[in-house]
Amino acid sequence: MATKVLVVDDEKIIVKGIKFSLEQDGMEVDAAYDGEDAFHMIEEGDYDIVILDVMLPRMDGIQVCQQVREFSQVPILMLTAKGEDMDKILGLEYGADDYMTKPFNILELKARIKAILRRSHSNESRGDNMVEYHDLRIDFDSRRVFIKGNETNLTAKEFDLLELLSKNAGKVYSREKLLEIVWGAAYPGDVRTVDVHVRRLREKIEPNPGDPLYIQTKWGVGYFFKA
From start to end of the chain, where are the E strands? 4-8, 28-32, 49-53, 76-80, 98-101, 130-133, 136-139, 144-147, 150-152, 173-174, 215-218, 222-225
- Could you tell me which residues are beta bridge partners of residue 34? none
**Residues whose CB is less than 8 angstroms from the CB of residue 219 and which lie 6 or more positions away in sequence, other chains included:** none
pLDDT higher than threshold 90 for residue 131: no
**Residues whose CB is less than 8 angstroms from the CB of residue 177 and which lie 6 or more positions away in sequence, other chains included:** 222
User: pTM of the prediction?
Assistant: 0.64
CATH 3.40.50.170 fits 125-225, yes or no: no
Three-class SS state of 146: strand
Please report, rounded to a whole number, the percentage of residues in the chain having pLDDT higher than 90.
53
pLDDT single digits (tens) 2-51: 899 999 999 999 999 999 999 999 999 999 999 999 999 999 988 999 99
Domain ranges of the chain: 4-120, 125-225
pLDDT for position 23: 95
Asked whether this chain's domains 4-120 and 125-225 adopt the same fold, the reply is no
Cβ-count burial of 12 within 10 angstroms (0-12 exposed, 13-18 middle, 19+ buried)? exposed
Please report, rounded to a whole number, the percentage of residues in the chain having pLDDT higher than 70.
92
End-to-end CA distance of the chain: give it in Å, rounded: 40
Task: Over range 149-174, report the average pLDDT.
Answer: 91
User: Domain 4-120 is of which CATH architecture?
Assistant: 3-Layer(aba) Sandwich (3.40)
Does the CA dihedral 197-201-202-204 come out positive or negative?
positive
Cβ-count burial of 70 within 10 angstroms (0-12 exposed, 13-18 middle, 19+ buried)? exposed
State the Cα–Cα distance between residues 112 and 184, nearest whole angstrom.
9
What H or E segment, with its residue span, contains residue 142?
Answer: none
Q: What share of the chain is helix, strand, coil (3-state, %, to 5)?
A: 40, 20, 35
